[in-house]
Chains A and B, each alone.
Chain A
Amino acid sequence: MKTSRWLYFSVFLLYFFLLGPFVIIFIAAFGAESTLAFPPTGFSLQWFARIVETQQFIDSFWTSLWIGLGATAISLMFGIPVAYALVRFNFKGMSAVETLFSAPILVPGLVIGFSMLNFFVLFGRIEVMTGLLLGHTAILFPYSVRVTSVSLRNLDPAVEEAAVSLGANRLRAFMLVVLPNMRSGIAAAFILGFITSFNNVPVSLFLTGPGITTLPISMLSYMEYYFDPTIAALSTVLVIFSILLVQLAERVLGLSRFI
């Protein structure tokens, strides 16, 4: 059939467009030339070695890792109670709260980063790490509130009442019954939040400072001065890293359904 052949072509086009660039990066990463020529004429692992030799990448990787873990943890710590309030209660200003906590998705990241920079400058210098942590935490709220809300909504409210009728006070009922049943939602929010923070450019762009920078920002600044395939090698590592993370998520979230 003619129509379906044309339809299948669009699927091919989609994946060609989505994945083709990754293939090119993989190939370029193993090239021998020191410029961005394609196809490479020789095989070499030197660009992978170059990543590890470049102190800037190592330092910024650790920064990104800590900021990602920290910001996600903080946003979940503050965000889960909000999700709980939104799901379990009806109160005045509820939709305003809901809108506020999803706003960081609607406002362009560049604007958020810029506004925070200006604001921090207003109060004198805030430490770079603190600034990054605060900025990343703010942009992660939509994920931590929304994703944990979903798992809360799937939990029968009567379960909590059962715990209370059996003698637990509200806090104990929450800790002993609600929280354990939110596991998969919290894990999903954590992974999503971490990836969002780890990959963020627009907010970090303004909040990184002398000596302290995140991995994506250091990649950008490396590209300004060097034209060798180190970035291709680093991108390859990051793609593999994200494949592993997605697999891990699948494993964790998939398994938790059966435990």
Chain B
Amino acid sequence: MMAYLNIQNLRVEYVRDVPTLDNFNLTVNEGELVALLGPSGCGKTTTLRSVAGFIEPAAGTIKVAEKDYTTLPPNKRDIGMVFQSYALFPHLTIFDNVAFGLRMRRIQRKGIKKRVDEVLQMVDLQDYADRRPVQLSGGQRQRVALARAIVIEPTLLLFDEPLSNLDAKLRVEMRNEIRRLQQRLGITALYVTHDQVEALAISDRVVVMNKGEIEQIGQPEAIYNQPETAFVADFMGFVNCFDADVTSKEQSILALQAQDYTLHATYTGDDDPQRVQVFFRPDAVALSDEPSENSLNGQVILRTFQGQVVEYIVETALGNMIIYMPEDAPRFEAHVTLSLKTERLIAIAYE
């Protein structure tokens, strides 16, 4: 597939000679929704705003459908953008908000009416055309923002943390609605968020960013199950971690020695690392009665009931581990054996 959005060697400086982004490369295919995921300050919003044209890159190029956008003014880009604060025009009705972009394009009155009605229908707001933004709920405002962005038939849709002002239930609804519309219209989209679940749920590919660098690009399943860096593992909820020495490597399985334990873990890299960090999730553990191949011994030092699961903190020779159990199995201060599956133990080489 041909790259539709093509960012090459992008460099952005807010302060002279201090790059926030440097040598940043990213391609997005036509019709794809790519999520930029990372903590605040990782450069995801900067990337988005560079594509929108609100930030002038110090170096590099941005192309959309082979057309050079790098120095094109933001109002000539035909990009639809959905803002975190919605950024609706407070003084205009919902109809006029949505019609704004069309009026800027000097489309005839009749055409505007038809297009706006169509799009309002799409987001299920046809009955709200004469209201003003203040009269709408958060979810409705978000749908207006979405309608306003897609009505201009944009070359590209940009989302800047669009759901962060909504409550949990609405967030899921809106997430699905955005995805449904984006797929139906076949618009290419870039979606910035700091919420892992949201990024995984909505996108075709996830770009995990940290300190202006891309840590990992991949499909949601790959990002979730096979983190390639310690940062991604940590960000994706691999809260348990210990150090180990590599004794041998066979295809993607490493034999490890961590203090007195001999363990096997999965490794996706092509090289032969000497020393690795091993990560696993709280739910990747089973309890067993006797020590087996991949197991750790420990003692429960805290148990807290959390509804669906019970969380235990288990003290082991490799540090405290957090594990989730579906039912209230061991007692407080009980000695337990944690049995770990090789495919769910992820080894990551020290840089």
Direct contact of A and B (CB under 8 A): yes
Chain A interfacial positions (CB closer than 8 Å to B): 155-156, 158-159, 161-169, 172-173, 176-177, 180-181, 183
Where chain A touches its partner, the secondary structure class is helix
Contact B83 A162 (CB under 8 A): yes
CB within 8 Å for A158 and B75 given contacts A163-B100, A166-B152: no
Contact of B87 among A156, A167, A172, A180 (CB under 8 A): A156
- Minimum distance in angstroms from B292 CB to a CB of chain A: 56
Which of A158, A162, A173: most chain B CB closer than 10 A?
Answer: A162
Residues in B whose Cβ lies below 8 Å from that of A156: 85, 87
Q: In the assembly, what is the distance between CA of A165 and CA of B76, in Å?
A: 8
Contact A167 B88 (CB under 8 A): no
Q: In the assembly, what is the distance between CA of A82 and CA of B219, in Å?
A: 49
Contact A167 B73 (CB under 8 A): no
Residues in B whose Cβ lies below 8 Å from that of A162: 81, 83, 87-89, 145, 148
Contact B148 A167 (CB under 8 A): no
Please list the 10 inter-chain residue pairs (A to B) with the smallest Cβ-Cβ separation, ordered nearest first: A167-B104, A166-B101, A158-B87, A162-B87, A158-B83, A180-B91, A165-B81, A159-B87, A164-B75, A164-B74
Q: In the assembly, what is the distance between CA of A133 and CA of B77, in Å?
A: 45
Given contact pairs A156-B87, A162-B88, A162-B148, enumerate 12 new A-B contacts (beta carbons under 8 Å): A155-B90, A159-B87, A161-B81, A164-B74, A165-B77, A165-B79, A165-B81, A166-B104, A167-B78, A167-B152, A168-B75, A169-B75
Residues in A whose Cβ lies below 8 Å from that of B104: 166-168, 172
- Minimum distance in angstroms from A133 CB to a CB of chain B: 32
Q: In the assembly, what is the distance between CA of A169 and CA of B90, in Å?
A: 19
Chain B interfacial positions (CB closer than 8 Å to A): 52-54, 73-81, 83-85, 87-91, 100-101, 104-105, 145, 148-149, 152
Which of B74, B79, B145: most chain A CB closer than 10 A?
Answer: B74
A-B contact pairs, 30 of them (CB 8 A): A158-B87, A159-B87, A159-B88, A161-B54, A161-B81, A162-B88, A162-B89, A162-B145, A164-B75, A165-B53, A165-B75, A165-B77, A165-B79, A166-B75, A166-B100, A166-B101, A166-B104, A166-B152, A167-B75, A167-B104, A167-B152, A168-B75, A169-B73, A172-B104, A173-B75, A176-B100, A177-B91, A180-B91, A181-B89, A181-B90
- Minimum distance in angstroms from A235 CB to a CB of chain B: 40
Residues in A whose Cβ lies below 8 Å from that of B89: 159, 162-163, 177, 181
Residues in A whose Cβ lies below 8 Å from that of B81: 161-162, 165
Which of A159, A169, A172: most chain B CB closer than 10 A?
Answer: A159
- Minimum distance in angstroms from B58 CB to a CB of chain A: 18
**Who on chain B is nearest to A160 by CB?**
B87
Q: In the assembly, what is the distance between CA of A162 and CA of B80, in Å?
A: 9
- Minimum distance in angstroms from B115 CB to a CB of chain A: 13
Q: In the assembly, what is the distance between CA of A159 and CA of B90, in Å?
A: 9
Residues in B whose Cβ lies below 8 Å from that of A177: 89, 91
Q: In the assembly, what is the distance between CA of A166 and CA of B101, in Å?
A: 5
Which of A155, A167, A172: most chain B CB closer than 10 A?
Answer: A167
Residues in B whose Cβ lies below 8 Å from that of A163: 89, 100
CB within 8 Å for A165 and B52 given contacts A159-B89, A181-B91: yes
- Minimum distance in angstroms from B299 CB to a CB of chain A: 53
Residues in B whose Cβ lies below 8 Å from that of A167: 75-76, 78, 101, 104-105, 152
- Minimum distance in angstroms from A175 CB to a CB of chain B: 12
Which of A155, A156, A165, A168: most chain B CB closer than 10 A?
Answer: A165
Residues in B whose Cβ lies below 8 Å from that of A166: 75, 80, 100-101, 104, 148, 152
CB within 8 Å for A165 and B74 given contacts A158-B83, A158-B84, A172-B104: yes
Residues in A whose Cβ lies below 8 Å from that of B83: 158, 161-162
**Who on chain B is nearest to A177 by CB?**
B89
Which of B81, B85, B89: most chain A CB closer than 10 A?
Answer: B89
Q: In the assembly, what is the distance between CA of A166 and CA of B78, in Å?
A: 7
Which of A166, A173, A176: most chain B CB closer than 10 A?
Answer: A166
Q: In the assembly, what is the distance between CA of A167 and CA of B152, in Å?
A: 9
Residues in B whose Cβ lies below 8 Å from that of A180: 91
**Who on chain A is nearest to B97 by CB?**
A162
- Minimum distance in angstroms from A38 CB to a CB of chain B: 53
Contact B85 A158 (CB under 8 A): yes
- Minimum distance in angstroms from B132 CB to a CB of chain A: 9
- Minimum distance in angstroms from B186 CB to a CB of chain A: 20
Q: In the assembly, what is the distance between CA of A169 and CA of B75, in Å?
A: 6
**Who on chain A is nearest to B90 by CB?**
A181
Q: In the assembly, what is the distance between CA of A21 and CA of B259, in Å?
A: 91
Which of B53, B104, B145: most chain A CB closer than 10 A?
Answer: B104
- Minimum distance in angstroms from A16 CB to a CB of chain B: 43
CB within 8 Å for A161 and B100 given contacts A166-B148, A166-B152, A167-B152: no
- Minimum distance in angstroms from A257 CB to a CB of chain B: 9
- Minimum distance in angstroms from B130 CB to a CB of chain A: 14
Residues in B whose Cβ lies below 8 Å from that of A168: 75, 100, 104
Which of B76, B100, B148, B149: most chain A CB closer than 10 A?
Answer: B100
Q: In the assembly, what is the distance between CA of A224 and CA of B101, in Å?
A: 64
Which of B73, B87, B90: most chain A CB closer than 10 A?
Answer: B87
**Who on chain B is nearest to A168 by CB?**
B104
Q: In the assembly, what is the distance between CA of A176 and CA of B89, in Å?
A: 10
**Who on chain B is nearest to A157 by CB?**
B87
- Minimum distance in angstroms from B158 CB to a CB of chain A: 8
**Who on chain B is nearest to A259 by CB?**
B91
- Minimum distance in angstroms from B162 CB to a CB of chain A: 12
Q: In the assembly, what is the distance between CA of A183 and CA of B91, in Å?
A: 10
**Who on chain A is nearest to B76 by CB?**
A167
